Amino acid sequence: MTFTWIRSFCAATVLLCLSTLIISSSAVIYDQYSDLPLGKEYNFVIAGGGTAGLALASRLSENSAFNVLVLEAATSSIGVFNITVPYFSTRNMLQYDWNLTTTVQSGLGDRWLFFPRRFILGGSSSINGMFYTRSSVDDFNRFAGVTGDDGWSWDNIQQYLALNERLVSPAGNPNTAGEFDPDVHYIGGAVDVSLPSFSQNIDSKVLDAAHKLGGVYSYNEDVNSGMPLGLGRRSSSVTAYLSDESRDNLDVLVNARVARVVPTKNRNTTAGYSFRTVDFTQNITDGTFIQVTASKEVIICGGAVGSPQILLNSGIGNSTALSAAGITPLIDLPSVGQNLSDQPFIANAFLANTSNTYDDINRNDTVLKEALTEWLGEDRLPGVFRGAGPLGDTFANQISYYRVSEELTGHYGDFSAGVTSPHLEIYPGNGYFLTPPTTGYYLSMTTVVVSPASRGSITVNDSNPFTPPLIDPGYLTVDFDVAAMKEAFKILYTFLNASVWDDYILEPPVGLPSIPDFFTMNSTQLDAQLESYVCNSTSSLAHPVGTVAMSAKNASYGVLDPDLKVKGVDGLRVVDASAFPFVTCSHTQVPVYVFVERAAEIIKASWQ
């Protein structure tokens, strides 16, 4: 069996978003609206205290002349121990999730999926997998091209990466020579970023396989250079951007669920409607709403689900669909809620001939206690540094990116941003992803389509602003995505067929052939088996974007101008992953921070 790839590089070391200190919040966090300072006027009201919202609030409040209020639906994350432990990102903490589901997905055999969106201060940055990946040169250059604003280009966003990243040493200061390129990183930003601190059992095998296979599997020293082909405590937007310097001009109100934005009375504007007032509640059962008005802007930071939901409930969207849902249309913007893009993934668990995995941490309380003692460090285990052991890292120490074959792109088209952008991501995990079975030890090889062609939507079907929206990601509804995921398995099996894995893998995941059978099966039979497995096993990587996408200033489509203002209205912006016109080829946390850093600069400049 022979495959041809345009370009790909494998087995780069993962960088993690972390924080080496517990940082107290600079904001005052309030539980009740009545506790807010009496008579205080807010210049900016931010709807959503997640990854984007808190970072933006921090940057805006650097100007002492600005008073900023953040409205967050969930409770505070301050002092929640489980979310500070990096490895616990492998656990389903449903008490901190919106517990949303998708509509039935025709591309997934008419299955519906759990759709992770985090319900806690800091949002997904408080619970995600912590991967620090910037995406590619072409991703940001495509943003610039689509919007007509060169400020979104790769070269021009470097200043915002510098504001975001603070590269620090891993816990224990291990030798990291050759594992990253220091010349492409920054040391003065807000978010602590580090290489993994704990070597996993499979690390040497992964790197040995890459070196032995060479070619498309060759080692890429740093996937964050813009060419991605080829501890400590978690760092969230809470720990990174709410510093220990007290600011009395930044308030955060938790348990405050935003329903809509409403036109501000007596506001003269040439744009038509001015939206500077927010309706929210602290009790969704009693039907009472509180209004707060920003003197300058309301900024929605609700994410790819929450932001379009707020806009639609405000009468901003497709007028016909809004009327059908019982909502009075105010601004006809048909693109609101459309263009939903998410990265489909499969966590493929191979039964392994070892007991040196992380599986017992997630199913054996004694093993977990030992790992926690090691991670807590010197006060619990003399002579052992804080952040030591397996709990100091996330579930993968390496990450690899690939472009698919020219045959595939020639047949279906190329849906990546360009030649520097991969279509696929594969990363190994030393154990079963999430909760393992009661017996057995596993090697997880996660496959992801990072540049998918499929698109979906976020819609509402009634006038209750707190009814969960209809989430239809449209997974695998474009043939390219199915073909790309199948090609990921051809890449994966070739990698696992390297001699370093001999006698290590005992059984494949249910539904996949053994490694020897993969290379001897009839091609038609193999293709059918892979297609069935992909259809029945694909889930969400939880990287949804695009539902309030920006476009060029005078474009007839899109929701936001390149400065992230909502088209055709005054006083309203959206700053979060919903603004991305396309999903980046990376995990989305770092691109969100880049958007925030540039948005903060744009907003500050507009109100000087």
pLDDT digits (tens, 9 = 90+) for 146-197: 999 999 999 999 999 889 887 776 666 666 666 667 777 776 888 877 777 6
Q: Tell me how far apart the alpha carbons of residues 423 and 473 are, in angstroms, rounded to a whole number.
A: 18
Contacts 24+ apart (CB under 8 A), 141-147: 141/417, 141/418, 142/417, 142/418, 142/581, 142/582, 143/550, 143/580, 143/581, 143/582, 146/550, 146/551, 146/552, 146/581, 146/582, 147/550, 147/551, 147/552, 147/561, 147/562, 147/581
Average pLDDT over residues 205-216: 84
pLDDT (0 to 100) of residue 245: 55
3-state SS class at 62: coil
Range in 100-104, 199-203, 261-265 with the lowest mean pLDDT: 199-203
Q: Determine the Cα–Cα distance for residues 445 and 443; give it in Å rounded to an integer.
A: 6
- At residue 266, the pLDDT reads 57
Residue with structure tokens 């090697």? 443
350/512 Cα distance (integer angstroms): 10
% of the chain beyond a pLDDT of 90: 64
Helix (H, G, I), strand (E, B), or coil: what is residue 70?
strand
Report the binding-site residues for FAD. 258
CA nearest to 110, candidates 477, 442, 377: 477
Query: Maximum distance among all alpha carbons in the chain?
Result: 75
Q: Which CATH architecture has domain 8-21+195-234+344-451+476-537?
A: 2-Layer Sandwich (3.30)
Tell me what pLDDT residue 132 has: 83
Tens digit of each residue's pLDDT (9 = 90 or more) over 481-492: 999 999 999 999
Residue 185 among the catalytic residues: no
Q: Which pLDDT value is given to residue 314? A: 98
Helices 203-213, 479-496: crossing angle, 10 deg rounding: 100
Average pLDDT, the chain: 87
Q: Is the dihedral of CA 548, 550, 553, 556 positive or negative?
A: negative
Position 144, amino acid: A
Full-model pTM: 0.90
**Active-site residue, 543 included:** yes
Q: Flag whether pLDDT at 44 surpasses 90.
A: yes
pLDDT: is 164 or 583 the higher one?
583
Output phi, psi for 355, to 5 deg.
-120, 5
Domain boundaries, the chain: 8-21+195-234+344-451+476-537, 31-77+243-340+546-606
Euclidean distance between CA atoms 529 and 526, whole angstroms: 5
Q: Which pLDDT value is given to residue 178?
A: 64
Q: Cα separation of 178 and 58, whole Å?
A: 35
Q: Tokens 């539902």: give the residue.
A: 547
Distance of CA 259 to the CA centre of its chain: 24
Give me the residues paired with residue 46 across strands: 70, 299
Is the pLDDT at 52 greater than 70? The verdict is yes
Query: How many DSSP H helices and E strands does the chain contain?
Result: 13, 25
Nearest to 404 by CA among 495, 341, 483, 492: 483
Residue-wise pLDDT for 76-91, tens only, equals 877 777 777 878 877 7
> What single-letter DSSP state applies at residue 381?
S
CB-based contacts of 280, cutoff 8 Å, min separation 6:
47, 71, 256, 257, 258, 259, 289, 290, 291, 292
User: Residues marked as binding?
Assistant: 258
Type and span of the H or E element at 345 = strand 344-352
pLDDT, tens digit, 9 for 90 and up, residues 497-541: 999 999 999 999 999 999 999 999 999 999 999 999 999 999 999
pLDDT band at 545 (very low <50, low <70, confident <90, very high): very high
Task: Tell me how far apart the alpha carbons of residues 52 and 596 are, in angstroms, rounded to a whole number.
Answer: 6
Looking at the predicted structure, is the pLDDT value of residue 546 above 50? yes
Amino acid identity of residue 389, one-letter, is: G
Say if residue 228's pLDDT is above 60.
Answer: no
pLDDT recorded at residue 465: 97
Between helices 523-537 and 479-496, what is the axis angle to 10°? 110
The per-residue pLDDT for 83 is: 77
Architecture of the domain made up of 31-77+243-340+546-606: 3-Layer(bba) Sandwich (3.50)
Q: Which of 185, 411, 423, 587 is catalytic?
A: 587
Query: What mean pLDDT do residues 110-130 have?
Result: 85
At 34 the pLDDT is 95
Q: Is 325 helix (H, G, I), strand (E, B) or coil?
A: coil
pLDDT at 379 over 80: no
Provide, rounded to the nearest whole percent, the portion of the chain with pLDDT above 70: 85
